[in-house]
A and B are shown apart, each in its own frame.
Chain A
Amino acid sequence: METPGQGAGPGVDRDEVLRRAEIDASCRTPVMAFFASGVFWLLVGSALALLASWKMHSPEFLADWAWLTFGRVRPAHLSVVAYGWASMAGIGALLWLEARLCRVRLPWPGLLLAGCALWNVAVAGGTVEILAGRGTSVEWLEFPPFWAVLLGVVFLLITVVSMMMFAARRVAHIYVSQWYLFGAVLWFPFLYVMANVLIHGELARGVTQAATNWWFAHNVLGLWLTPIGLAAVYYLLPKILGVPIYSYHLSLLGFWTLALFYNWAGTHHLIGGPLPAWLVTVGVVGSVMMLIPVGTVALNHHMTTRGHFWRLKESPTLRFTVFGAMAYTAVSVQGSLTALRSVNEVVHFTHYTVAHAHLGVYAFYSMVIWAVMYYAVPRLTGREWPSARLIGVHFWCAAVGMAVYWVGLTWAGVHQGLQMNNPEVGFLEVVRYTVPYLWSRSLAGVLMTAGHLVFAYHLLKLASPSARWIRGPALFGRRRLQEVAP
């Protein structure tokens, strides 16, 4: 063990450094508002997901309600989860991380709260419009333009607040997580506004619209969710374990290569479509080149955690973080391989793609965001999570649910793709083949939703007046503080 203080960062004037508790206190209200809103939309998104999933194997279920038909419920699920859960919880994580990394208080808490309220109104309004049949039918941009403008305004607020914190930072060195957060707050709002202008402003039509659509849609994961998720992992892993990142230069190489390659990848969604071949090839090349940043991240995460894997037994934050980090490697390698034309011609338009998307947004991103919440909420509120058991139930519901989901749909998807490419097999025969796997998806969805309900209940319990003030982390097993002899 090193002498305390030996690890102080370069360029840190110790008299100037704010205590973390002060920084966390400045974040409390806005960040908790974004977290709580995210959890609310997670529950709404889960209900819509279950409804959509159930209709896949039982199409007669609630079929007489126009508002609840599959064509509306499915885009409503995607929009609620992407802009409600993932974005709101992500913005909370992003603001907290930036304040800590820059060692400054979070500015404009009142304005951020107003932004949070506006974001909630936009997600609610956009979702109601989708369910009313007025969605745009442009995947990942289904909210009608009016609501998108509101989201764009809040995106710009987040960018301005981030830049203010960066300008006022009290550390000379820009930690790797900060670079990733830059990617999120500088590039994604720009992409969001640009994609809306191009598509809803009718500048991009026909094939160009499809290309713009998927350039944007893939970048929701690549330049919004992924940077926030990786920034969190690069911060949490060393902090939880008390060890610096294994190879810092690889981590920076990973960021800059992600910046270079990720935004090219979107056109791999249009393999086989009527696009110029070179445009699709650029997407394929960009996707395969992503193996470089992914390799650096995977190596770094593994080598940093090596020798500390035993702590997975006790630390909830570490367990969620490591699960998410491993899923990032898995989904990214799978994505690079799926972008190859030979693979894509089999699995495109099958359930395989749905499983792949959930491996990214759920197994990687959502697990990491939960890790941030399990770590940050006690520090923000001064209250500890009341029950390690409930955290365990949440983890296993999410992990087992995700595993069942991915295995069932990936298997079904590959088989479905091979059958669809075979002219000897009738289409209905292929549909019937997938039905048992669609039931497995609904079962997995029930399990994941149960985990979300447990998590939401736990958060409410933490916020209730009867909750304990902080006494130490809620750890799994016998090493919980409450059970350690004084």
Chain B
Amino acid sequence: MSLSYLAVWALMLVFAASAIYGLVWAIQRGQLQGFRAGARSIFDEEEPVGVPTDAPARGPGQRASEASPVGRVANEREGR
């Protein structure tokens, strides 16, 4: 039984250490810097900042290039 408790405690320490290691690793790799660029890392040429991805393919008076990515697929399929 005492060996089991020891194993549990050891694993608990590994658990806590993994979180601390993650934080230290993130600081050392500069993950907690450059917040403006970080916030934009999910955008790119395919889905740029400023273009909603859940909007009509092409609204009235809107150019096809201004359509949302989903809409662009529809436009391409329909040859617009």
Contacting pair A470 B53 (CB below 8 A): no
B51 adjacent to A242 (CB under 8 Å):
yes
1/0 contact trace for B36-78 toward A, CB 8 Å? 1111111111111111111111111000000011110110011
Q: Is the CB of A473 within 8 A of B68?
A: yes
- Asked whether any CB of chain B lies closer than 8 Å to the CB of A256, the reply is yes
Q: Complex: how many Å from CA A315 to CA B18?
A: 39
Q: Which of A1, A21, A245, A484 touches B60 (beta carbons < 8 Å)? A: A484
Known: A197-B8, A203-B5, A242-B49. A481 touches B56 (CB 8 A): yes
Decide if A248 touches B36 in the complex (CB within 8 Å).
Answer: yes
What residues on B are CB-neighbors of A25 within 8 Å? none
B32 within 8 A of A: yes
**Residues on A with beta carbons closer than 8 Å to the beta carbon of B8:** 194, 197-198, 203
> Does residue A46 face the partner (Cβ distance < 8 Å to B)?
no
Q: Which of A83-115 contact B (CB under 8 A)?
A: 101
Partner of B49, one of A19, A243, A247, A251: A243
Bound together, the chains give a CA A187 to CA B1 distance in angstroms of 25
In the bound complex, what is the Cα–Cα distance between A235 and B54 (angstroms)?
A: 13
Point out the residues of chain A lying under 8 angstroms from B45, CB to CB.
4-5, 8, 14
Interface positions of A from 268 to 313, Cβ below 8 Å from B: 311
CA gap between A468 and B57 in the complex, in Å: 15
Q: Kindly identify which residue among B1, B46, B50, B70 contacts A2, using a CB–CB cutoff of 8 Å.
A: B50
Which single residue of chain A is at the shortest CB-CB distance from B71?
A472
Residues of A1-42 whose CB lies within 8 A of B: 1-10, 12, 14, 17, 19-21
Interface residues of B in 24-41 (CB under 8 A from A): 26, 31-32, 34-41
Q: Which residue of B lies closest to A316 (CB)?
A: B54
**Chain A contact patch, size range:** 35 or more
Q: Taking the nearest CB of chain B, how far is it from the CB of A99, in angstroms?
A: 13
B54: which of A240, A247, A485 is its contact (CB, 8 Å)? A240
Task: Give the contacting residue for B56; candidates A4, A182, A249, A472; CB below 8 A.
Answer: A472
Q: How long is the Cα–Cα vector from A21 to B69 in the complex, in angstroms?
A: 10
Let me know if A479 and B56 touch, CB within 8 A.
Answer: yes
Which residues of B have CB within 8 Å of A357? none
* Complexed CA–CA distance, A335 and B40 (Å): 32
CB <8 Å contact, B42 and A249:
no
Cβ contact within 8 Å between A318 and B54: yes
Question: In this assembly, does A411 line the interface, its C-beta being within 8 Å of a C-beta of chain B?
Answer: no
Expressed in whole angstroms, the minimum distance between the Cβ of B3 and any Cβ of chain A is 11
User: A173 to chain B: which residues have CB within 8 Å?
Assistant: 31, 34, 37-38, 41
In the assembled complex, which residues on chain A have CB atoms less than 8 Å from the CB atom of B49? Answer: 2, 6-7, 242-244
Asked whether, in the complex, the Cβ of A239 is within 8 Å of the Cβ of B42, the reply is: yes
A residues adjacent to B (C-beta < 8 A): 1-10, 12, 14, 17, 19-21, 101, 171, 173-177, 182, 186-187, 190, 194, 197-198, 201, 203, 235, 238-245, 247-249, 251-252, 256, 259, 311, 315, 317-318, 375, 378-379, 469-473, 475, 479-481, 484-486
